[in-house]
Structure 1
Amino acid sequence: MAKNGHSQSSSYTNYVAYQDPKIQGQSRIGHLDLQASTIQPLSFLSGAPLSDLYEVIEIGEAQIKPLGEPFPLSSIQLLAPISGRDVLAVGKNYAEHAKEFNSSGYDSSDKTDQPTHPVIFTKRSTSIIAHGESIFPHPGFTETVDYEGEIGVILGKSGYRVSEKDAWDYVWGYTIINDVTARERQRDHKQFYIGKSPDTFCPMGPIAVPARKLPKTLRVETTVNGEKRQTATTEDFIFSIPFLVKTLSEGQTIQPGDVIATGTPAGVGFGQKPPIWLVPGDVVDVSVTGLGVLSNTIAEPTSKNPTIARVSTTTHIPISNLDKTCGGVGLTTIGCHGLSPTSAASAVTIEPYASDFDNLAEQLNIKDTTVIAHSMGCLVAMTLALKNSALVSNLVLIGPPPSPVPEAGRNGSIARAAIVRSSGMAAVVDAVITAGTSAKSKTENPVAIAAIRMSLLGQDPEGMPKDAQRWLELRKLYL
């Protein structure tokens, strides 16, 4: 039990996403202490670190524990608490805002002050940014950048045609959203999507908190450069959260991690007399009961759109064995035979492995080496010796394979690689041991057989077939 009488998991529910400082591109989840401005890393009960809020929602608070020591918030880069999906957003959900919008000249959606049905639109996932990130003003695209402080509802269960009376069972928690908007684009395109989805136009965070940890009624307030512009509570909604969940699930399946931006109160920029648009240097702060403050600054028009770099570094091509390297960022040892990192888009050949070894030796200033290699690693070692004879003074080869590969060996390895890809390493371990070890070893040396079995089972089901393919495609190594 924690000092305050609660279980450890219930004490750490200000969930914050952040960039792992040691592993590029790896997100982590922690608890943000809003008073101390420190982050407590969190993990599964197994000790494996949490990577995103989707994991938190699925596993539940009772299966989460603190990991290591807290560190200063200022020492890391915050991420949006949840991302990767378009935000489901609600327009005109406060009566006073609906009136100011209808009379503003920017509302092309309706002619009445108060909608009879929820106005639903989406904000593209690429518009999501974190607390503290700058909002890109998109010069040439809009001159009417406006703010909308909102309460974000995060769903916790899948559902279809959820009834209004059961809807609270599908709500996991809350976060803060600033529904930044290009007003003239919202007006001219009739529908809201174009004006609501520009890159960086969906600041979110800094934290996400389970609903049970917060009061029933939440207040949202927005300030611009310290001047209060908006304030209202969830009691002021035209359409309640249960009604919104019911509406959104009537014809589509809602999912855990879906975010609903519930609408903004009166007091936005176009509601001022005259309208006041956001300009570079303006600081917009949105606060919600129990969720802290979401703060973002309007960037200079000469700045770069950060979304381009973020999206361009994303890849959907898997890399096998990357977790076997230091920090998951690159080679530290040459694993060979299914143990080295490899992209699914890359064909494995002997030469790159030899070059990796050569480059590693140069980087570490290694000279006059004795290289010991086994099985297919012998082909790499021999290629290295041919490539850089000054580096290799002694070459010890254990069980080198034939070169070129006999046809029967080629066919057998092709079949084995297919089995590994479909059924995993366990499906071929016995066959490899039977064909590749002596009768004496099998009957008199169980430790050696166990070591071989462990070595094979430790190989990646994709890395091993790719490595086998490399061997098959090698017709002959000329010495």
Structure 2
Amino acid sequence: MRLATLRHQDGTRAVRIDGAAAVEIAGFADVGQLLRHPSWAALATAADGARFDTPAADSTDWAPVVPSPSKIVCVGLNYRTHILEMGRELPEHPTLFAKYPEALIGANDPIVLPPHAADMVDWEAELAVVIGSTARNVDEQAAEEAIAGFSVLNDVTMRDYQYRTLQWLQGKTFEGTSPFGPVLVTPDEFELGAAIRCVVDDETVQDASTDDLVFSPAALISYVSHIVTLNPGDVIATGTPGGVGHARKPARYLVPGATLATAVEGIGELRNPVTSAH
């Protein structure tokens, strides 16, 4: 099953995507609100609300699939290829940091670079895991059962702000810079091993397999759940593979006029123009 949050003239609505048709899940303004209902899967499967054409792949009608998660937990250094390119050893434990909901944008929304942080803007294609039931102190088997589905996220990063201190948060959560979507795909229709790619101006800069993760989605959910309760709609961004701009020689960054495309096979693609704030 594929779920999405679509914009319309009066706000947003949660829908089930049935190929060329989008079916409204009546009573739910977005996928996050839907996931907070204990019977969300049955409700989404049975939904027979208003039917309309699925927006075009490049439409700005696609909102962030979960617009306001209570938590966005991000994982650094979780692809073997990326760890090696950064000159580090494989970690014993996940490296975690946070992102705030204000950072999220839709699948085709512009990434607007503020003038004070526009010089070292990097891409990080990521597989996102969305939580479907409360997880607290769970083992990996229970963690698997807590997964609502998977989506695509780009953890666009201001490297100059990130490396001002040893703490990464300030470079990772600039408002309106992290595309997330276009859909949530339930676990029965997705498995690790799918390709993950990032393309900047038609040049492929990241190309890897999602089974290159050091810590699996279930392992990450279990680990985080021993620190804080994960609620339905919460998001874990599972890390990025090799190919980020900061690790290139010479380094390469996003600039106004560029287009950033992020895709996970079997889920979909984000395609975001990069612009500057005026």
In the superposition, the TM-score normalised over structure 1's length comes to 0.54
Q: 2:97 aligns with which of 102, 110, 121?
A: 121
Identity %: 29
Whether the 8 Å contact between 2:60 and 2:107 is mirrored in structure 1 is no
Q: Determine the structure 2 residue equivalent to 1:28.
A: 13
**Does structure 1 residue 17 correspond to structure 2 residue 5?**
yes
1:76 and 1:249 map into 2 onto residues whose CA distance is 34
1:123 and 1:229 map into 2 onto residues whose CA distance is 23
Whether the 8 Å contact between 2:192 and 2:211 is mirrored in structure 1 is no
Note closer, same or farther for the CA distance 1:95–1:28 as it changes in structure 2 (3 Å cut). same
Once the two structures are TM-superposed, the CA of residue 119 in structure 1 deviates from its matched residue by 0.4
Q: Determine the structure 2 residue equivalent to 1:208.
A: 184
- CA deviation map 1:435-472 (0-9, x unaligned): xxxxxxxxxxxxxxxxxxxxxxxxxxxxxxxxxxxxxx
SS of residue in 2 equivalent to 1:73: coil
Q: 1:65 aligns with which of 37, 47, 56?
A: 47
Once the two structures are TM-superposed, the CA of residue 205 in structure 1 deviates from its matched residue by 0.6
SS of residue in 2 equivalent to 1:205: strand
Whether the 8 Å contact between 1:16 and 1:32 is mirrored in structure 2 is yes
After superposing on structure 2, the runs of 4+ consecutive aligned residues of structure 1 that deviate more than 6 Å are none
Q: Determine the structure 2 residue equivalent to 1:325.
A: none
- CA deviation map 1:74-120 (0-9, x unaligned): 58722111022341100000122112234xxxxxxxxx432221000
Q: Determine the structure 2 residue equivalent to 1:259.
A: 235
Once the two structures are TM-superposed, the CA of residue 216 in structure 1 deviates from its matched residue by 4.1
Whether the 8 Å contact between 1:134 and 1:297 is mirrored in structure 2 is yes
Structure 1 letter corresponding to 2:276: E
1:212 and 1:177 map into 2 onto residues whose CA distance is 20
2:239 and 2:16 map into 1 onto residues whose CA distance is 27
Once the two structures are superposed, the pairs formed by residues 454-465 of structure 1 within 5 Å of their partners are none
2:233 and 2:116 map into 1 onto residues whose CA distance is 34
Q: Determine the structure 2 residue equivalent to 1:41.
A: 23
- Give 5+ residue unaligned stretches, structure 2: none
**Does structure 1 residue 199 correspond to structure 2 residue 213?**
no
Q: Determine the structure 2 residue equivalent to 1:50.
A: 28
Once the two structures are TM-superposed, the CA of residue 72 in structure 1 deviates from its matched residue by 5.2
Once the two structures are TM-superposed, the CA of residue 213 in structure 1 deviates from its matched residue by 1.8
**Does structure 1 residue 89 correspond to structure 2 residue 67?**
no
2:166 and 2:118 map into 1 onto residues whose CA distance is 16
1:213 and 1:286 map into 2 onto residues whose CA distance is 19
SS of residue in 2 equivalent to 1:299: strand
Whether the 8 Å contact between 1:282 and 1:297 is mirrored in structure 2 is yes
Note closer, same or farther for the CA distance 1:243–1:281 as it changes in structure 2 (3 Å cut). same
Q: 2:111 aligns with which of 112, 135, 143?
A: 135
Once the two structures are TM-superposed, the CA of residue 239 in structure 1 deviates from its matched residue by 1.1
Relative to its length, the structure with more strand (as a share) is 2
Q: Determine the structure 2 residue equivalent to 1:180.
A: 156
Whether the 8 Å contact between 2:135 and 2:143 is mirrored in structure 1 is no
Note closer, same or farther for the CA distance 1:96–1:215 as it changes in structure 2 (3 Å cut). closer
Structure 1 letter corresponding to 2:32: Y
In the superposition, the TM-score normalised over structure 2's length comes to 0.91
1:249 and 1:72 map into 2 onto residues whose CA distance is 35
Q: Which has the larger radius of gyration?
A: 1
